[in-house]
């Protein structure tokens, strides 16, 4: 009888411990912040939206929906960000870590311009 009670107490403790771990890991996962993301569409020789306001730490992805190639190049300094030539449906992403204004353009079609404002 003693052995049965010891085994029962141990099994109950193990079940409770597993239940507590499962519930605490769910709440931890739910409270972990996910990185922010935004998208700029390239279509009809334009960037949309032309001006994008985002918080610092956001990753912006440009997607070329045009039938011809385009690029995404920082106006201030091409070293800040510069995509390869993007064919139809190709993407380029950049994470903006510092607040500021980041103007950009398409180096193939320089009249195509846009701006990312990081707050």
Q: CA-CA distances (angstroms) from residue 79 to 10, 18, 31, 75, 104?
A: 62, 50, 35, 10, 12
pTM over 0.95: no
Identify the CATH assignment for 37-118 out of 2.40.50.140, 2.40.30.10, 2.60.40.420, 3.90.1150.10.
Answer: 2.60.40.420
Name the 3-class secondary structure at 34.
coil
**Per-residue pLDDT tens listing for the chain (119 residues):** 555 444 444 555 555 455 555 554 444 445 555 668 999 999 999 999 999 999 999 999 999 999 999 999 999 887 899 999 999 999 999 999 999 999 999 999 999 999 999 99
Enumerate the domain spans of the chain: 1-32, 37-118
Spatial neighbors of 67 by CB under 8 A, at least 6 apart, are 88
């Amino acid at each position: 009888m003693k052995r049965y009670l010891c085994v029962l107490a141990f099994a109950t403790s193990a079940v409770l411990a597993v239940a507590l771990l499962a519930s605490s890991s769910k709440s931890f996962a739910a409270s972990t912040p996910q990185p922010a993301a935004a998208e700029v569409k390239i279509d009809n020789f334009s960037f949309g939206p032309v001006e994008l306001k985002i918080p610092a730490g956001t990753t912006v992805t440009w997607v070329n929906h045009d039938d011809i190639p385009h690029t995404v190049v920082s106006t201030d300094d091409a070293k800040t960000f510069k995509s390869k030539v993007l064919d139809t449906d190709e993407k380029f992403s950049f994470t903006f870590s510092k607040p500021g204004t980041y103007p950009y353009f398409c180096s193939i079609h320089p009249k195509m311009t846009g701006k990312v404002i990081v707050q």
